[in-house]
A and B are shown apart, each in its own frame.
Chain A
Amino acid sequence: MANLRDIRRRIKSTKNMQQITKAMKAVAAAKMRKAQEAVTLARPYSKRIKSVLGRVAVVSGGVNNPLLEVREPKKVAYIVISADRGLCGGFNSNIIKLATQELKATSAEISLITVGRKAHDFFVRRGGSNIAKQYVGLGDNIMYGTVRDIASFVIDKYANQEYDVVYLIYSQFVNVMVQKPLVIKLLPAEPPAAAGGADESKKIAYIFEPSPEAVLAELLPKYIENAIYQGLLETKAGFYSAQMTSMENATKSASDMIDKLTMFMNRARQAQITTEISEIVGGVAALE
């Protein structure tokens, strides 16, 4: 049986750890609430832009736009969004796992745009020569400027035929317990089907101001920006909820550990007392 003092020391250090994980859990919970709110607030815009784009695409069917052009996928770009920090269970590794699977599946020339430190570090360790652009340390407030930056980067490359397909890999925030890594095709843009079926929207003769081409040319980049923005927000919200859950688990394991150690300590103490008593009894018996 371990020494009494050692056990006491371990209990103390476990308690300290528990305090830290508890604090981290509280912080993550607060930040998650904020991030979740941001996701909810961003939903109306992305819903509307999707439906407007769907209707515009149906009405202006014949309009050519470089972002709609489908090419043979020889050069593929992946935007991988992860968190900047760890201590969130399998959250980052799930995203990275999906990304590696995707990368393995294609035979095309691959470029990577990494968002978040974890994804970047991972791909750097694996060679990392194909990282075209990286964004780390985005912080808690996602700046729309950063989003615009990423979007204009891939749009330029796509328009210049440097990329043939662009995918976005991020973690979908389903609810607090479930985050699902997801791949979506960003470019060529695939306008979503208009709500209520295509037939209904065909009937509406929209007036386009200044012209269908101009509207579509402005609408598409906005749509792509929004998809990236949505991805960032959801990943952020997912990260904090994953961190909260894993910190809660850590706090619970720390309690279990403390209970177990306390039991050991009591046992050790009892054993010590028993030994002492039997020594005294033995000493008295020897005197008589």
Chain B
Amino acid sequence: MSEKSQRLEIVTPQKKVFSEDVKFLVAPGTDGELGILPEHAPLITSLNIGVLRIQQDRDFIKVVVSGGFMEVRNSKVTVLATSAERVEDIDVARAERAKQRAEERLAEKASGLDMLRAEMALKRAIIRLRAVNDK
């Protein structure tokens, strides 16, 4: 692996979640996953709800992001996510509850907007739980 590194910053409206040098990362783009190595060409992409994998030394750090953007420029990667949390910080019980709530709401078949919201909530919860269980 090359000695070069790139700066990765993950920020959410609430706070800066991550700001460190990394070697490699895989981001959940809307059109599929993207791997970013240092000195990548300038890129702007929107992100899906999914797991962002970051490699610093050998192991991958996992961060669950739900929607947002990634900008790559001059070996500097900025992720603007609506929410982002490290897998270690995920509250499993809360995610389970959210999943259950979303499923209940989907079963009730509420009006259009609520359905969409419930679907998103369900997706977020499932991805969170999956990320925790994969570890």
Q: Which positions in A face B, CB cutoff 8 Å? A: 38, 41-42, 44-46, 48-49, 52, 55-56, 144, 204-210, 214-215, 218-219, 222, 225-226, 229
B34 to chain A: which residues have CB within 8 Å?
A: 209
Are A209 and B13 also in contact (CB < 8 A) when A45-B80, A48-B78, A52-B71 are? no
Question: Can you add 10 more A-B contacts, CB < 8 Å, to A144-B13, A210-B46, A214-B46?
Answer: A41-B15, A41-B16, A42-B15, A45-B12, A48-B78, A52-B44, A204-B73, A209-B30, A209-B46, A215-B69
Residue B93 lies at the interface, judged by CB distance under 8 Å to chain A: no
Residues of B with C-beta under 8 A to A38: 14
What is the minimal beta-carbon distance from A99 to any residue of chain B, in angstroms? 25
> A52: which B residues are within 8 A, CB to CB?
44, 69, 71, 78, 80
Distance between Cα atoms of A225 and B34 in the complex (Å):
27
CB-CB nearest 4 A-B residue pairs: A209-B45, A41-B15, A207-B43, A45-B11
How far, in whole Å, are A42 and B80 apart by their CA atoms in the complex?
A: 12
Q: Mark B38-67, 1 if CB is under 8 A from A, else 0.
A: 000111111000000000000000000000
**Contact between chains at A44 and B42 (CB < 8 Å):** no
Residues of B within 8 A of A209 (CB): 29-31, 34, 43-46
Q: Which residues of A contact B41 (CB under 8 A)?
A: 205, 207
Taking the nearest CB of chain B, how far is it from the CB of A56, in angstroms?
6
Residue of A nearest to B30 (CB): A210
Across the interface, A207 reaches (CB within 8 A) one of B42, B46, B69, namely: B42
Q: What are the residues of chain A within 8 A of B31 when measuring CB–CB? A: 209-210
Whether the Cβ atoms of B14 and A41 lie closer than 8 Å is: yes
Q: Which residues of B contact A (CB under 8 A)?
A: 9, 11-16, 29-31, 34, 41-46, 68-69, 71, 73, 78, 80, 82-83
Tell me if A219 and B42 are in contact (CB < 8 A). no
**B14 to chain A: closest CB distance in Å?**
6
Distance between A224 CB and nearest chain B CB, rounded to angstroms? 12
Report the number of A-B residue pairs with Cβ-Cβ less than 8 Å.
Answer: 78
CB distance from A8 to the nearest CB of B (A): 52
B13 A208 Cβ-Cβ under 8 A: no
Chain A residues closer than 8 Å to B13, beta-carbon distance:
42, 45-46, 144, 225-226, 229
Q: Give Cα A214 to B44, complex, Å.
A: 11
Q: Which of B12, B15, B83 has the most CB of A within 10 A?
A: B15
Report the separation of the CA atoms of residues A226 and B16 in the bound assembly, to the nearest whole angstrom: 15
Taking the closest CB of chain B, its distance from the CB of A219, in whole angstroms, is 6
Instruction: Give min CB distance, A198 to chain B, whole Å.
Output: 16
B80 close to A48 (CB less than 8 A): yes
Expressed in whole angstroms, the Cα–Cα distance for A229 and B14 within the complex equals 10
Known contacts: A44-B16, A52-B69, A229-B13. The answer to whether A144 contacts B46 by CB under 8 A is: no
Query: Min CB distance, B83 to chain A, in Å?
Result: 8
A-B contact pairs, 13 of them (CB 8 A): A38-B14, A48-B80, A52-B44, A52-B78, A56-B44, A205-B41, A205-B42, A206-B42, A209-B30, A210-B30, A210-B45, A222-B68, A222-B82
Other-chain residue from A45, A218, A229 in contact with B46 (beta carbon distance below 8 A)? A218
Taken together as a complex, chains A and B put the C-alpha atoms of A48 and B12 apart, in Å, by 10
> Do residues B73 and A219 form an inter-chain contact, with CB atoms below 8 A?
no
Question: What residue in chain B is nearest A210 (Cβ atoms)?
Answer: B31
Chain A residues with CB below 8 A from B78, complex form: 48, 52
